[in-house]
Structures are given as structure tokens and as C-alpha cells.
Amino acid sequence: PVELLVEEAARLPRQVLLLLLAGLGLLAIALVLLRVWQKRGRQKTAAAALARQQAALQAKLIPSEDAAPPAPPAPAFLVWPAGDKEPIEITGDNVLIGRDLAVVDIALADRSVSRLHARIRQRNGRYWLYDEGSEMGTFLNHDRLGLSPKPLQDGDEVRFGRVALRFSLTR
């Protein structure tokens, strides 16, 4: 049988053989591209499923700003670590912190603090810390805040640039 194929192939004109080989080559390329496309589709689907699972898990672990309040809000203070200055009372439900007295509610006289540095909001019985795009950063317990607000708890260390304070629900 192999000898017959060789004899028949020898009889076909060279151009037909070249066309046949080119067609087989194109078919092979098409099959490879199809496999790559299918593999990428599965990877995108798997990545999307993983992202949905992570978002659901994060929603369970990180409380939402709109979550139901555990209790009515307690008065809050920013306390100087050395205790040599009066604690700063957080009054209102949207307190701006920075260096510019004309813009903020709590002014901190330090060059590392931006004109408008951060914000503390009270929502549903909880206090939330926001960074307002400060240059030197806003830190909660040594972790720099990103775009998302973080809930404050009694005893948390809050740092605005180089100014470190402690968030407290008691004086």
C-alpha cells in the first residue's frame, strides 16, 4: 500500500502537491490558533470566577460602610501619644484633617501633612478613615490607606504624614 501511494504521488504534478501541503499547513495553523483561543477563553472564565469569589469573600470579611450599626456612636478623640497635649475631639459626622485652617476642621501644623490630608466620617455608629490623596500618606496601624476607607477601632494608631495619633473612644 505504501508503494502505491508513492507511485500515485509521483504521477501528480508538483503544483498540486505544493497546494496540498500549503492547505495542510494552513489547517494545522488554524487548529493551533483554535486551541490557543479556547485555552484563553477558559483562563478568562476561570479568572472571572476567581475574582467573583474573592469579591464575595472580601465583602464578608471587610464590613461595608453602610453596614447596620452595632450601637449608637460613642464620642471619639485623636490622642497624642505622649499625652502632653489635649486630645482632639472628633465632632460631626464628616471631619476634615490637614494643614490648611481655611479648609479643614482639625489642623495639624506639620510640613508632612497635606493641606487637605484625610477625613474621618461617622456612619451607622462607626468611624471610617479616608485618605484624601495626601502626598505623605495616611496610615492605620502602620498600613497605608489606599482608595478605600477603613473602619476605625478604639486604640488604633492613625498617622497623617509624620504625625502619629491614637484613635480613642474615651478621653
For the question of whether the overall pTM of this predicted structure is more than 0.95, the answer is no
Statement to judge: residues 81 and 141 lie in one domain: yes
Within this chain, do residues 18 and 48 fall inside the same structural domain, yes or no? yes
Q: Tell me the three cell numbers of residue 9.
A: 504521488
Closest CA to 116 of 150, 102, 169: 102
Per-residue model confidence as pLDDT tens digits over 30-55 = 999 988 878 777 777 777 787 777 77
Edge-to-edge strands, sheet with 106-107 = 106-107, 94-98, 118-123, 126-131, 150-152
* The pLDDT of residue 57 is above 90: no
Burial 87-104 (b: 16+ CB within 10 A, else e): bbebeeeebbbbbeeeeb
In one-letter notation, the amino acid at residue 8 is E
Nearest to 150 by CA among 136, 162, 138: 138
- Do 121 and 149 meet the contact criterion of CB atoms below 8 Å apart? yes
Regarding predicted confidence, which is higher, 63 or 124?
Answer: 124
Write the pLDDT tens digit of every residue in 66-88: 666 555 566 899 999 988 899 99
Residue 111 has pLDDT above 90, yes or no: yes
What is the phi/psi pair of residue 48, to 5°?
A: -65, -40
Contact status, residue 37 vs residue 43, Cβ threshold 8 Å? no
68 in a domain, yes or no? no
Mean pLDDT of 113-124: 95
Please tell me whether residues 57 and 31 are part of one structural domain.
yes
Structure confidence by residue, pLDDT tens digits, 86-100: 999 998 899 999 999
Tell me what the mean pLDDT of segment 55-59 comes to: 70
Q: Domains in the chain: how many in total?
A: 2
Q: Residue 16's pLDDT is what?
A: 76
Is the domain of 81 the same as that of 152? yes
Q: Of 79, 158, 80, 70, which is closest to residue 120 (Cα–Cα)?
A: 158
In a domain, 55, yes or no: yes
